[in-house]
Structure 1
Amino acid sequence: MTSDIQSSPFIKHLASSDKRTRDHALDSLRTFLSGRSQIEELDLLKLWKGLFYCMWMQDKPLNQQRLARDLASLVEALQKDVVLPFLDAFWKTMAREWNGIGALRMDKFLYLIRQYLHASFRYLSHNTWSDTTAVDHYISIIETTPLNAKDMKIPNGLRYHVLDIYVDELEKVAGEKVEEMPLERLLEPLRKLEKESKTKAVREAARNALRDERVRRWMGEESEKGESEDEEMEEGSGDEWGGIED
Structure 2
Amino acid sequence: MDSGPISGAAMAKRLASCSSTTRDRAIRLLSSWLPSAVASLSDAELAKIWKGLFYCVWHSDKLPAQLALINSLSSLVVSLDPPSSLRYFDAFLATVRREWSGIDQLRLDKFYLLIRKFVNRSFAFLKKHGWNREMLESFVAVLKEKSFLANDKFQANGVNFFIAEVFLDEMSGSLPVAPEIFGLLLDLFVRVLERTNDRVLVYKIRVNVFEKLVECGGKFLGGESDELGKIAIVLRLSEKFLMSASDPETVQGNRKVLFGLRDGFLKLEKDFEKSGLEIAFENVDSGNVASENAGEGYSVSSDRPAKKRKKTKVSSDGGEKRAGGRKIRKNCRLLLLKVTARTSQVMAVRKRPR
TM-score of the superposed pair, with normalisation by structure 1: 0.78
C-alpha distance in structure 2 between counterparts of 1:15 and 1:179, whole Å: 47
Return the structure number with greater relative CO, CA threshold 8 A, min gap 6: 1
Q: 1:191 touches 1:210 (CA, 8 Å); kept in 2?
A: no
Paired AA for residue 185 in structure 2: L
Say whether 1:179 aligns with 2:181.
no
- Does residue 217 (structure 1) correspond to residue 230 (structure 2)? The answer is yes
Q: How far apart, in 2, do the equivalents of 1:183 and 1:119 lie?
A: 16
Which residue matches 2:195? Answer: 196
Quick one: which of 101, 107, 110 aligns to 1:108? Answer: 110
- Are the equivalent residues in 2 in contact too, given 1:91–1:145 (CA < 8 A)? yes
Corresponding residue number in structure 1 for 2:43:
41
Provide the rounded CA distance (Å) in 2 between the counterparts of 1:199 and 1:150.
13
Q: Residue in 2 aligned with 1:163?
A: 164
Structure 2 runs not aligned, ≥5 long: 217-227, 237-263, 272-354
* Separation in structure 2 between the aligned mates of residue 104 and residue 187 of structure 1, nearest angstrom: 33
Any idea what SS the aligned residue of 2:7 has? helix
How far apart, in 2, do the equivalents of 1:79 and 1:179 lie? 24
Partner of residue 71, structure 1:
73
Change (3 A) 1:198 1:97: same
> How far did residue 21 of structure 1 move?
7.7
Give the counterpart letter for 1:211 in structure 2: E
Partner of 1:239: none
Tell me how far 1:187 sits from its aligned partner: 1.0
Of residues 7, 13, 17, the one that matches 2:10 is 7
Partner residue, 1:50: 52
Root-mean-square deviation (Å): 3.0
Distance in 1 between residues matched to 2:180 and 2:111, nearest whole Å = 27
Amino acid at match of 1:201: V
Work out the CA distance in 1 between the residues paired with 2:143 and 2:108: 21
CA distance 1:179–1:52, shift in 2 (3 Å): same
What whole-Å deviation, never above 9, does each CA across 1:14-68 have from its counterpart, x for those lacking one? 973x7x983x533311111121361321111111000000000000122112211
- Check conservation: 2:97, 2:147, Cα contact below 8 A: yes
Q: How far apart are the structure 1 equivalents of 2:47 and 2:153?
A: 21
Q: Residue 205 of structure 2 corresponds to which residue in structure 1?
A: 206
* Counterparts of 1:33 and 1:91, CA distance in 2: 18
- The alignment's TM-score, normalised by the length of structure 2, stands at 0.56
Q: Tell me which amino acid in the other structure corresponds to 2:7.
A: D
Q: How many angstroms does 1:79 deviate by?
A: 2.7
Q: Given the superposition, is the C-alpha separation of residues 15 and 48 from structure 1 closer, same or farther in structure 2, using an over 3 Å criterion?
A: farther
* Change in 2 beyond 3 A, CA 1:7/1:152: closer
What residue is the counterpart of 2:145 in the other structure? 144
Comparing 180-189 and 116-125, the one that deviates more: 180-189
Is 1:90 paired with 2:103?
no
State the 1:178 CA deviation: 2.8
> Is the 1:11–1:29 Cα contact (8 Å) retained in structure 2?
no
| Residues 187 and 13 of structure 1: CA distance in aligned 2, closer, same or farther (over 3 Å) | same
Separation (CA, whole Å) in 2 of partners of 1:6 and 1:143: 29
Which structure has the larger Rg? 2
Identity of aligned residues (%): 25
Which residue number in structure 2 is paired with residue 236 of structure 1?
none
Match of 2:90, SS? Answer: helix
Deviations 1:126-181 (CA, angstroms, capped at 9, x unpaired):
2431x21111111000001222277664522111100000011110122xx23276
Please say if residues 140 and 188 of structure 2, whose CA atoms lie closer than 8 Å, have aligned partners that are also in contact: yes
Aligned residues: 220
Q: Is the 8 A contact 1:95 1:155 kept in 2?
A: yes
CA 1:60–1:191 in 2, change beyond 3 Å: closer, same or farther? same
